C-alpha cells in the first residue's frame, strides 16, 4: 500500500467538507444515474448518449469538486488525480456523446449480469454499507466522489463491452488499485468491490478480445461460410 500523508480522521473530514459545499450532489447524481438507466432499459433513442454524458459529468465532477477543491487540501497529489479524472470524463464525452461509439445494453450474458450487479451495488448497496458501517452521509463517500463513481462506471462498461474502447479502462483501473488499500484500512469496507470490479472488467475485456480474434480467424479460414 502506498504511504499517504494523512490519517483516517482527515480522510473522513474531506467528505464532510465536500458535502457541506454540495449538500444535494449525491441526490442529484443518483437521480441522473437512475434516469439514464431507466431510459436504457426502455431502449429509448439516445439513451446511450445521455448515459455517456452523465458518466462523463460524474468523472469531471469528481475530478474538480472532490479531488481538486477538497481532497487536495490534505493530499497534494489529488490535483494530479483531479486532472486524470477530468481527462477520463473528456474521453467518455468524446466517445459516447460527440462521436458516439458507446452503446449501453443490459443483457442476460455473464458480463451483462455482472454489470447490473455492480450498478446496483454502486447506487444502493454502497451507501447502505457505508451507513451501517458508521460513515454514511455526510461523513463518507457518495455517488459523485471517486470510488462509488468508479464502481458504477465499471458496471456500465460491462453493458458496453462490445463497443468499449479499451483505453477507457486505464484510469478507472489505476484508481481502483491505488485508492482501495488505504480506504479499506480505514474501514471503508464497501470499497472492496472496486478492485474486484476492476479485475472482472479486465477479465471480460480480455475474453471479448479473444472471442473477436477467434471469430476473425474463423472467418478468414472460411470466407464463403462467413458471408452466409
Q: What residue ranges do the domains of the chain occupy?
A: 8-227
How far apart, in Å, are the Cα atoms of 82 and each of 12, 63, 165, 220, 227?
A: 18, 4, 22, 45, 48
Q: What pLDDT, on the 0 to 100 scale, is given for residue 211?
A: 75
Q: What is the pTM of this model?
A: 0.92
pLDDT at position 74 over 50: yes
Contact 119, 193 (CB under 8 A): no
Check residue 80 and give its pLDDT. 97
The confidence score (pLDDT) of residue 126 equals 98
Q: For 166-201, how does the pLDDT look when each residue is reduced to its tens digit (9 = 90+)?
A: 999 999 999 999 999 999 999 999 999 999 999 999
What per-residue confidence (pLDDT) applies to 38? 97
Mean pLDDT, residues 209-226: 64
Do 168 and 95 touch, CB atoms closer than 8 A? yes
The pLDDT tens digits for 47-62 are: 999 999 999 999 999 9
**145: β partners:** 143
Contact indicator for 117, 155 with CB cutoff of 8 Å: yes
pLDDT band at 145 (very low <50, low <70, confident <90, very high): very high
pLDDT for 201 equals 97
Cβ-based burial of 76 (10 A; exposed 0-12, middle 13-18, buried ≥19): exposed
Residues facing 143 on adjacent strands: 145
Percent of the chain residues past pLDDT 70, beyond the cut: 92
The answer on pLDDT for 226 being more than 80 is no
In this predicted model, what pLDDT tens digit does every residue of 80-95 receive, in sequence order?
999 999 999 999 999 9
Distance CA 197, CA 119 (A): 11
Q: What is the pLDDT of residues 1-18, one digit of tens each?
A: 456 778 899 999 999 999
pLDDT of residue 5: 74
Amino acid at each position: 500500500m502506498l504511504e499517504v500523508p494523512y490519517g483516517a480522521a482527515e480522510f473522513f473530514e474531506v467528505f464532510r467538507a465536500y458535502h457541506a459545499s454540495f449538500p444535494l450532489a449525491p441526490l442529484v447524481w443518483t437521480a441522473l444515474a437512475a434516469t439514464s438507466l431507466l431510459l436504457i432499459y426502455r431502449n429509448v433513442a439516445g439513451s446511450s448518449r445521455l448515459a455517456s454524458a452523465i458518466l462523463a459529468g460524474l468523472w469531471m465532477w469528481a475530478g474538480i469538486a472532490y479531488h481538486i477543491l477538497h481532497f487536495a487540501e490534505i493530499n497534494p497529489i489529488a490535483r494530479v488525480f483531479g486532472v486524470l479524472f477530468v481527462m477520463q470524463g473528456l474521453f467518455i464525452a468524446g466517445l459516447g456523446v460527440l462521436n458516439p461509439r458507446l452503446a449501453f445494453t443490459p443483457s442476460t450474458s455473464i458480463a451483462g449480469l455482472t454489470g447490473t450487479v455492480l450498478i446496483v451495488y454502486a447506487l444502493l448497496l454502497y451507501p447502505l454499507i457505508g451507513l451501517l458501517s458508521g460513515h454514511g452521509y455526510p461523513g463518507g463517500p457518495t455517488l459523485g466522489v471517486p470510488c462509488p463513481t468508479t464502481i458504477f462506471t465499471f458496471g456500465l462498461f460491462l453493458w458496453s463491452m462490445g463497443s468499449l474502447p479499451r483505453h477507457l479502462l486505464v484510469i478507472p483501473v489505476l484508481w481502483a488499485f491505488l485508492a482501495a488499500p488505504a480506504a479499506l484500512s480505514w474501514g471503508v469496507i464497501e470499497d472492496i468491490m472496486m478492485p474486484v470490479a476492476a479485475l472482472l472488467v479486465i477479465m471480460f475485456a480480455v475474453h471479448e478480445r479473444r472471442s473477436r480474434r477467434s471469430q476473425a480467424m474463423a472467418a478468414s479460414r472460411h470466407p464463403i461460410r462467413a458471408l452466409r
